[in-house]
Amino acid sequence: MPRKMVVIFGASNVLWMVFTVSQAFKMEIFPEHRVIAQIGDVISLTCRTTGCEPPSFSWRTQIDSPLNGKVKNEGNNSTLTMDPVSFNNEHAYVCTATCGSKKLEKGIQVEIYSFPKDPEIHLSGPLELGKPVTVTCMVPDVYPFDRLEVNLMKDNKLLKNKEFLEPMERKSLETKSLAVTFIPTNEDIGKALVCQAKLNIDEFDFEPKERETTKKLQVYISPKNTVISVSPSTKLQEGGSVTMTCSSEGLPAPQIFWSKKLDNGNVQLLSGNATLTLIAMRIEDSGIYVCEGVNQVGKDGKEVELIVQVAPRDTTILVSPSSILEEGSSVNMTCSSNGLPAPKILWSRQLNNGDLQPLSENSTLTLTSTKMDDSGIYVCEGINQAGISRKEVELIIQVAPKDIQLIAFPSESVKEGDTVIISCTCGNVPKTWIILKKKAETGDTVLKSRDGAYTIHKVQLEDAGVYECESKNEVGLQLRSLTLDVKGRENNKDYFSPELLVLYCASSLIIPAIGMIIYFARRANMKGSYSLVEAQKSKV
């Protein structure tokens, strides 16, 4: 054509006009025949003519509904722009160009679709091992949904497929979904769910025809097996400290919370750490402590009771009326001990070998009608889990001395040089409690008696006098006395009684006579015989 133009250059306008008119009047439409557009997008249809200047254009739909677009005529061209594309643009459009008496028409089918977003995967709840969960794949704003196909896959295996073939009653955007229920297992941990949506419109080219969403399976395990360890013990001394460690199993790993139960039923949060250390514990810190393992799907709690104790102390014994008693009377011994928990009282009696013989767990130990055998050491112990506090008391049961007897043996009246025993006995008190004295104007002399007896060998005149025996204790005193009479051998007149005198004289004769008998006996022994006559002779 440019060649022709060169040829005719310089010729008359008429020639040019003829030349142009001679060119054929033609029309093209773009895109050709049919086009698909997504709802919300913008498309333009263009009618272009050659061989006429300027043609007149007109656009219509085949069923004469509104164009729902803007027409712009520019010389040889006419453009119908749909902005945005909507359901009302789904028509067969016809472009008409008129050039004088000539008229050309071309049609174009406009199809529409909607597939604007990736599918959404929703779970009915957190994925917990062993608990059924429904996974839903949602494909929003689809048109025409009778071309939609959805596949739901887990770990590259198809769970469910669906084609939404039901007839469309009206033109609308619809959200289509596919749901599958399954029970998560350990194998599912870390695997992926994939939802794949396809809009099967093969006769048109557009992108994308397929959309896909992947969701990694976050499997949860509700906290369980919550365990508390306490060091050193749940029973504590006042002022002591304790460390408690809590663990809980779950997925994801549970977070640990420590709290304390309050009296009013509320709980007081103490720590978000697994290890809780409490120091300088006081009585009021006793109570129930709670550890809770918490994660997205649940919680599991465990309780531990801490008891702050105070070892028994200040154990005291009150003896009423007194720890020294008269036999037969009663005594109350009351023991008290401070501590927490309140100490238990244990009364015992200490045996001779040091062992304790338990008597009573009552705080008051009552002995009625006591006997001397009840004398001894009584021990009270205040006992609780935290320790023992001990106190003892010595109980002395005494008897008033009675039936005291003081005698002199062989008699209270003896002769000088005799042996005399002065003996004191007391029926019911130990002999060691007896004191034997000799009274004198210058002062009493305590005698060294053995078991209440005092022996005087070869009694002297000065041993005569008043002897006194005393038995005394806290509850009584008894005294006895006697007078010892010592008679001298020579200068006592009574001593020379007639009978004794005769006896004395006789004895002074007997002694020489015995000497003679011994003489004759010796002689007789020499002769081998004995003659009284010869004896008489020799005597004469």
Binding site for ligand NAG (CB under 6 A): 46, 48, 50-51, 53, 74-77, 271-273, 320-321, 330-332, 360, 362, 366
Shortest Cβ distance from residue 295 to ligand NAG (Å)?
Answer: 17
Q: Which is nearer to ligand NAG, 119 or 254 (CB)?
A: 254
Residue 258: CB atoms within 10 A of its CB come to 23
Alpha-carbon dihedral of residues 486, 488, 489, 494, nearest 10 degrees?
Answer: -90
In whole angstroms, give the CA distance from residue 51 to residue 100. Answer: 11
In whole angstroms, give the CA distance from residue 103 to residue 94. Answer: 13
Shortest Cβ distance from residue 312 to ligand NAG (Å)?
Answer: 20
Q: Give the list of residues 6+ apart from residue 202 with CB closer than 8 angstroms, or none.
A: none
H helix count then E strand count, the chain: 4, 39
Nearest alpha-carbon partner for 106 in 25, 187, 173, 164: 25
Shortest Cβ distance from residue 113 to ligand NAG (Å)?
Answer: 25
Shortest Cβ distance from residue 321 to ligand NAG (Å)?
Answer: 6
Structure tokens at 297: 């799907």
Beta strands in 101-201 (DSSP E): 102-113, 120-123, 127-128, 133-142, 148-154, 157-163, 174-182, 192-199
Alpha-carbon Rg of the chain, whole angstroms?
A: 70
Given the structure tokens 């712009």, which residue do they identify?
Answer: 72
Q: Which is nearer to ligand NAG, 73 or 473 (CB)?
A: 73
Shortest Cβ distance from residue 275 to ligand NAG (Å)?
Answer: 7
Shortest Cβ distance from residue 73 to ligand NAG (Å)?
Answer: 9
Shortest Cβ distance from residue 329 to ligand NAG (Å)?
Answer: 7
Q: Which is nearer to ligand NAG, 368 or 507 (CB)?
A: 368
Residue 411: CB atoms within 10 A of its CB come to 12
Q: Which is nearer to ligand NAG, 76 or 234 (CB)?
A: 76
Given the structure tokens 């008190």, which residue do they identify?
Answer: 429
Residue 121: CB atoms within 10 A of its CB come to 16
> CA quadruple 113, 119, 123, 129: dihedral positive or negative?
positive
Shortest Cβ distance from residue 232 to ligand NAG (Å)?
Answer: 20
Q: Which is nearer to ligand NAG, 62 or 332 (CB)?
A: 332
Q: Which is nearer to ligand NAG, 273 or 405 (CB)?
A: 273
Q: Which is nearer to ligand NAG, 51 or 301 (CB)?
A: 51
In whole angstroms, give the CA distance from residue 83 to residue 380. Answer: 104
Beta strands in 321-403 (DSSP E): 324-326, 331-340, 344-350, 356-360, 364-367, 376-384, 387-398
- Work out the angle between the directed axes of helices 532-539 and 498-527 (0-180°, nearest 10): 110
Shortest Cβ distance from residue 330 to ligand NAG (Å)?
Answer: 4
Query: In this structure, what DSSP letter does residue 129 have?
Result: T
Q: Which is nearer to ligand NAG, 46 or 234 (CB)?
A: 46
Q: Which is nearer to ligand NAG, 81 or 320 (CB)?
A: 320
Q: Which is nearer to ligand NAG, 77 or 413 (CB)?
A: 77
Q: Which is nearer to ligand NAG, 209 or 344 (CB)?
A: 344
Shortest Cβ distance from residue 253 to ligand NAG (Å)?
Answer: 15
In whole angstroms, give the CA distance from residue 201 to residue 119. Answer: 18
3-state per-residue secondary structure call for 203-224: CCCCCCCEEEEEEECCEEEEEE
Shortest Cβ distance from residue 14 to ligand NAG (Å)?
Answer: 17
